[in-house]
Amino acid sequence: MNDARGALPSTLLRVDLNRGTIVEDEIPAALAVQALGGNGLGVQMLWDEVPPSLDPLDSDSLLVLAAGALTGTSWPCAARLEAIGKSPLTGIYGDSNCGGFFGPELRFSGVDAIAVSGRASEPVMLWIEDGRSWLEPAAHLWGLDTVETEASIRAQKGDPHVKVACVGPAAEQGVLFGSIQCSPGRSLARSGLGTLMASKRLKAIAVRGKRRIDVADPDGFARLSAAMHKRIRGNAAFPAVSKYGTPGIVELMDTIGRFPTHNFRTGSFEASEAISGAALRERFWVKDTGCFACPVRCDKVYRVTGGDFDGVTTSSFEYETLTALGSGVGVGDLGAVLAANDRCDRLGLDTISTGRVISFAVELFELGILHSNDTGGMQLRWGDSHMVLALIEQIASRRGLGELLALGVRRAAAELGPGAADFAMEVKGLEIPGQDGRAQQSMGLAHITSSRGADHLKAFPTLDEAGDAEGVRRRYGDAYLPEMADPQATLHKPLLVKDGEDFGAVVDSVGVCKSGGTFVMAELYWAEIAAGLTLACGEEYDEATLRRLGERIVNLMRAYNALHGVDRRDDRLPRRFHEEPASSGGAHGHVAHAEEMLNEYYDLRGWDRSRGWPTSETLRRLDLADVAERLEGLGHG
Ligand code: SF4
């Protein structure tokens, strides 16, 4: 760790699996100051090193794992690790973010980021321990599930505290939405980056470290961190989020009609109470757990008692999985949803994409677009938990119908031909998570502008979810009321989404958790993150600087996608959200208006209205002259 730059990332491990070499590189200080780590660093590396002509699974394709500037410090929820790469699922910019302990441990081992290129001839694993790193054969681990892999590595080392990031059988088989599972039970799931890792025959990365992270002003940083922990604990939402985690929002989402059910046919689920946060807590809760330095401890361990899935024990179980593998496929048996989550984690599958591709298949079967000769005789029906579990196994092994579903909904729809695409609930090839754009207009816009495809976390617009007028007043002022707090209004929503994306880009780069977003935005907003970074890194950050850096990261992601031909035509929601009015909850009768907000959004961003690309002027203002020149070379001004 370089003392002169405090906690800013400095050490990059370059692993070339073609040659079997590992080189320790220093991240240039000027880059660290602007990128901050995490996805700020990752997108810069993609821009510089992964040309648009390269297939995501080409051996030269790069997988970056990067901690943030605050990861591993005492800052609340500073547990995050970011994976960045060209997505095998979407073919464009991809990233994924997880908590747990792997990211902090990586930094304790003296490494801030890892860039993996090449492809090993046989499966290998990467060891990193207190400044030393080496590759070892891992053929004995290939084929093991993620839980077995972690256990085997820990047993081999004789150290139960080794932290592991590994892929499971699904990624090894080439399923396009394979995840990377990180200790303990956390998932880098979105964008199929586990499949990218497996394509390199890199089964696992194991880290152990005892180094301290240097911060520029240890006393000042410790005092501010302690105050921020206290502030989070004092937030009115703390007891509920801490007790139920993200599953605690099921009832609210169901009421407002934003709880995707039956492949987004509706936004309310008749069995929502049975799979609510309260039901989970009452029936299957074993203990609270959480990520490094987190006061919230929103994660829980659950054990199923009774029924067909008696004894299944799982954790890191989120709202998203409750909709994808519960309401989305019509399953109201909580034990079955937990069992499906457990299988996805062990096999290394993104639960969101898995659930959505299964619900897509069920709807097509019901409509007669898929037939029993496509399913090997299996009847696909809403609510059949055993069918869901069977399809998870088929997807992971790419057997039977799983061969098609392993492609994700966009490619599966293309294979199936006319009619199927109408029911493919995706944006830019990424399956839509648990937010119906008809129930919350800002979320629809967030899905279409997100760099990695459909996504709620890039912008995380929560103020209009349930009419948080006080939040709007605090962040924007009375002039933005009542519209900004109204889920159906479109006025001011482009600003809400743009601000959220810029802030999210910074948060994902410094390594702070957004799952506790209630607290991150309410208690740790621009000024607090800037103060923490200044004390940790010894660089002067203020709100204006961070806003600019967030904007810079978002523009670089957009420019990278532009190189791949992404433009305004790709910023669109599926047909269903426009043509089928919502049929339930507060959203009843509404359709999505996301595309109608694009002009205002582009204007706020300084992107041209026809293509939706950053203008040269915008890029130069953000210190991205080289990016401007490259887009100009494509005839863009
Ligand atoms: S809020 Fe939850 S997901 Fe976020 S750091 Fe804390 S325990 Fe982890």
Q: Are residues 194 and 45 in the same domain?
A: yes
225 falls within a domain: no
Is 431 domain-assigned?
Answer: no
Q: CA 257 to CA 171: how far, in whole Å?
A: 34
Q: Quick check: CB of 77 below 6 Å from ligand 1?
A: yes
Instruction: Pick the residue whose CA is nearest to atom 3 on ligand 1.
Output: 515
**Rg of the chain over all Cα atoms, to the nearest angstrom:** 23
- The DSSP secondary-structure symbol of 160 reads T
Determine, yes or no, domain membership for 434. no
* CA distance linking residue 454 with residue 434, whole number of Å: 10
Q: Is 298 in the pocket of ligand 1 (CB under 6 A)?
A: yes
Angle at 38 between CA 500 and CA 291, to 5 degrees: 85
Domain containing residue 147: CATH number = 3.60.9.10
Residues 410 and 466 grouped into a single domain: no
Amino acid found at 553: I
Residue 251 tokens read as: 């009832």
Q: Say if residues 511 and 103 touch (Cβ distance below 8 Å).
A: yes
Cα 392 to chain centroid, rounded: 20
Q: How far is CA 625 from CA 29, 43, 68, 117, 628, in A?
A: 19, 16, 25, 27, 5
Residue 536 sits in which domain range?
A: 441-632
Determine the Cα angle at 30 with ends 91 and 453, to 5°: 20
Q: Which runs of consecutive H residues, i.e. helices, occur in 8-119?
A: 29-35, 38-49, 102-108
Point out the ligand 1 atom lying closest to the alpha carbon of residue 289.
7
Together in a domain, 191 and 261: no
CATH code of the domain covering residue 391: 1.10.569.10
The CA 552 to ligand 1 mean position distance, Å, reads 27
Q: Which amino acid is at 317?
A: F
Residue 230 domain-assigned (yes or no):
no
Q: Which amino acid is at 217?
A: D
User: Are 292 and 345 in a shared domain?
Assistant: yes
Q: Locate the ligand 1 atom nearest the alpha carbon of residue 292 and give its number.
A: 5
Angle between helices 146-157 and 334-347 (to 10 degrees): 60
Q: Let me know whether 180 and 251 are in one domain.
A: no
State pLDDT tens for residues 380-416: 999 999 999 999 999 999 999 999 999 999 999 999 9
Tell me, yes or no, whether 223 lies in a domain: no
**One-letter identity of residue 566:** V
Which of 477, 502, 624 lies closest to 554, judged by CA? 502
Closest atom of ligand 1 to CA, residue 519: 1
Does the C-beta of 79 come closer than 6 Å to ligand 1?
yes
Positions of E strands within 253-341: 285-289, 299-303, 313-315
Res 521: pLDDT? 65
Residues 388 and 465 in one domain: no
Q: Which has the closest alpha carbon to 181: 316, 63, 294, 67?
A: 316
Are 368 and 295 part of one and the same domain?
yes
- Type and span of the H or E element at 13: strand 11-16
Where is the domain boundary, 208, 229, 250?
208
In 3D space, the residue among 9, 46, 216, 77 whose CA is nearest the CA of residue 520 turns out to be 77
* Nearest atom, ligand 1, residue 515 CA: 4
Last residue of a domain, one of 208, 228, 253: 208
Q: Is residue 222 part of a domain?
A: no
Residue 301: count other Cβ atoms within 10 Å of its Cβ: 17
Query: Which H helix or E strand runs over 412?
Result: helix 408-416
Same domain, 121 and 24: yes
Residue 430 maps to a domain: no
Based on the domain organization, do 196 and 268 belong to the same domain?
Answer: no
Question: Of the residues 189, 208, 227, which one is the last residue of a structural domain?
Answer: 208
Say what the pTM is: 0.97
Closest to 507 measured CA to CA, from 536, 474, 475, 547: 547
- Which residues are registered as beta bridge partners of 382? none
Q: How many Å apart are CA 354 and CA 52, to the nearest integer?
A: 27
Specify the DSSP class assigned to residue 515: T
Rounded Cα distance, 337 and 318, in Å: 11
Angle at 570 between CA 448 and CA 566, to 5 degrees: 115
How far from chain centre, in Å, is Cα 517?
Answer: 13
Q: Is residue 202 located within the same domain as residue 280?
A: no
Total domains in the fold of the chain:
3
Q: Which residue has the tokens 């990586």?
A: 106
Same domain? 316 vs 193: no
Look up the CATH number of the domain holding residue 571: 1.10.599.10
Q: What are phi and psi of 336, to 5 degrees?
A: -70, -40
User: Ligand 1 pocket: which of 71, 182, 187, 298 to mutate (most atoms <8 Å of CB)?
Assistant: 298
3-state secondary structure of 626: helix
Mean pLDDT over all residues of the chain?
Answer: 96
Q: At what angle do helices 493-510 and 38-49 cross, to 10 degrees?
A: 90
Does residue 152 share a domain with residue 259?
A: no
Spans in the chain with pLDDT lower than 70? 1-4, 515-521, 637
DSSP string, 598-622: HHHHHHHHTB-TTT-PBPHHHHHHT
Strands 202-208 and 124-129: parallel
| Residue 369 beta carbon below 6 angstroms from any ligand 1 atom | no
Phi, psi of 77, rounded to the nearest 5 degrees: 65, 25
Q: What integer pLDDT is reported at residue 5 of this predicted model? A: 82
Site to probe by mutation for ligand 1, drawn from 71, 233, 238, 291 as the one with most ligand atoms within 8 Å of Cβ, is: 291
**103 in a structural domain:** yes
Distance from residue 579's CA to the centre of ligand 1 (Å):
37
